[in-house]
Structure 1
Amino acid sequence: MEGPVPIQDTMASDTEPSNTIKLLHLLFLSTSWGMQVWVTFVAGFVMSRHLPRHTFSSIQRQLFPYYFHISSTCAFLNLTLFAMSHPSERLGEEHTAQIIIFLTCIAASVLNAAWFGPVTSEAAAELQRVESSHGLGQEPGQAASEPRRRLRASDPGYRQLARRFGLHHGLCSLCNLLCIACNGLSLQRLAAQITAL
């Protein structure tokens, strides 16, 4: 004769996310991480080495708003799905760490979407206008570095603009790498819970 189901077992099954929630969570997380790795480590390097500098810059300015908004949306949806599946009164240390990772990813991707991305794109467009007026920017890859170095040395306005671009581009890249690290950590935590493939 079977006894009553223990209360703990009932509570555990009540908080177990559905397969649909699990699938959506994995879909948003893997989409975001895969997109970030591709754009950052494959497409960016290939285009920067083989396209004229201004063509590469123009493509990035068109793609970045989509890229940053998709990253922000995926990060927000991941946090939402995770929070729905883990009520706050039952959060353990591991769950709290995961929520902090998602919040960090949201903050970094929103900073890029709302601030660093647009400011970097604006500075890149200004640089492109100045370089075009000096006949620069159609050289592929690193071929343009020496003429730009000479222009920086002779034009204080261009030098200041290049410095501003470098600062914002660096902050934008830092936020992007933070998002990649957060999504990688989330995937690692998720993979640690898989018992079989």
Structure 2
Amino acid sequence: MEGPIAGQDTVPTDTEPSNTVKLLHLLFLSTSWGMQLWVTCVAGFVMGSRLPRHTFGFIQRELFPYYFHIGSACAFLNLTLFAMYHPSELLSDEQTIQIIVFFVCVAASVLNTQWFGQVTSDIVADMHLIERSHGLGQEVGLVTSKSCRELRASNPSYQRLCQQFALYHTLASLCNLCCIACNGLSLYYLATRLSAL
């Protein structure tokens, strides 16, 4: 086995990604962040305040699997592209933080995709079945009606579903907010490195 050639650099280098890779990285990051802001801050509030509760719940159950899978794919691709061009041996403290931010975003996205989001949707579907059997669910807006509160007090099964929904919806929302924060930090990291607009 031959040793290294004299004068040859054996230390890995931090190579400059091509413009195509930079474009892909920015595209995945901005797509994910823009989608998260739209769904969380605009579409959710508008639909929730204008549609009957069951219609709103049905739309969310249909859209959220796509939302979570696209977010997970973008987070994974962002982490992969960044890691490919930043060898661990050469990471600065700032780049190490950026890798951690991408990893946290992947983890939170996958949790929502594989667990919290799906469980929340299943619970909502079960709640809607019980509500429909009592003639409820066509109220417009996110505020829980007096009839739903009475149903919760009189039906232990529905009450249990409401408690489970509150737990899993909170966990899913926290993961979603975590992803928004991570993507926002990543966009800030990229913006500080722009030489020109």
Asked if TM exceeds 0.5, the reply is: yes
Alpha-carbon distance in 1 for matches of 2:60, 2:143: 19
Structure-1 residue corresponding to 2:141: 141
Closer, same or farther: CA 142–87 of 1 in aligned 2, 3 Å: closer
Q: Deviations over 1:10-68 (max 9, x none)?
A: x87x6111111110000000000000000001000000000000000000000011000
The question of 1:184 aligning with 2:177 is answered no
Alpha-carbon distance in 2 for matches of 1:80, 1:65: 22
Q: Deviations over 1:175-196 (max 9, x none)?
A: 0000000000000111111122
Quick one: which amino acid aligns to residue 155 of structure 2?
D
Query: In the alignment, is the contact (CA less than 8 A) between 1:137 and 1:144 conserved in 2?
Result: no
Quick one: which amino acid aligns to residue 15 of structure 2?
T
Secondary structure in 2 matching 1:194: coil
Alpha-carbon distance in 2 for matches of 1:145, 1:16: 58
Secondary structure in 1 matching 2:145: helix
Query: In the alignment, is the contact (CA less than 8 A) between 1:120 and 1:168 conserved in 2?
Result: yes
Structure 2 segments unaligned to the other structure (5+ residues): 1-7
Quick one: which amino acid aligns to residue 179 of structure 1?
C
Q: Percent identity?
A: 66
Query: In the alignment, is the contact (CA less than 8 A) between 1:79 and 1:102 conserved in 2?
Result: yes
Structure-2 residue corresponding to 1:114: 114
Structure-1 residue corresponding to 2:124: 124
TM-score scaled by length of structure 1: 0.91
Alpha-carbon distance in 1 for matches of 2:55, 2:112: 22
Structure-2 residue corresponding to 1:3: none
Quick one: which amino acid aligns to residue 95 of structure 2?
H
1:154 offset after TM fit, Å?
Answer: 1.5
Alpha-carbon distance in 2 for matches of 1:59, 1:86: 40
Alpha-carbon distance in 1 for matches of 2:110, 2:143: 34
Alpha-carbon distance in 2 for matches of 1:161, 1:74: 32
Once structures 1 and 2 are overlaid, which stretch shifts more, 86-95 or 144-153?
144-153
1:144 offset after TM fit, Å?
Answer: 4.7
Q: Deviations over 1:156-182 (max 9, x none)?
A: 211111001110111000100000000
Structure-1 residue corresponding to 2:71: 71
Q: CA RMSD in A?
A: 1.6
Once structures 1 and 2 are overlaid, which stretch shifts more, 87-96 or 117-126?
87-96
Count of residues in correspondence between the two structures:
188
The question of 1:103 aligning with 2:108 is answered no
Closer, same or farther: CA 26–142 of 1 in aligned 2, 3 Å: closer
Query: In the alignment, is the contact (CA less than 8 A) between 1:136 and 1:144 conserved in 2?
Result: no
Structure-2 residue corresponding to 1:80: 80
Structure-2 residue corresponding to 1:153: 153
TM-score scaled by length of structure 2: 0.91
The question of 1:48 aligning with 2:48 is answered yes
Structure 1 segments unaligned to the other structure (5+ residues): 1-6
**Higher-helix-fraction structure:** 1
Secondary structure in 2 matching 1:115: helix
Alpha-carbon distance in 2 for matches of 1:157, 1:74: 38
Query: In the alignment, is the contact (CA less than 8 A) between 2:49 and 2:140 conserved in 1?
Result: yes
Quick one: which amino acid aligns to residue 46 of structure 2?
V
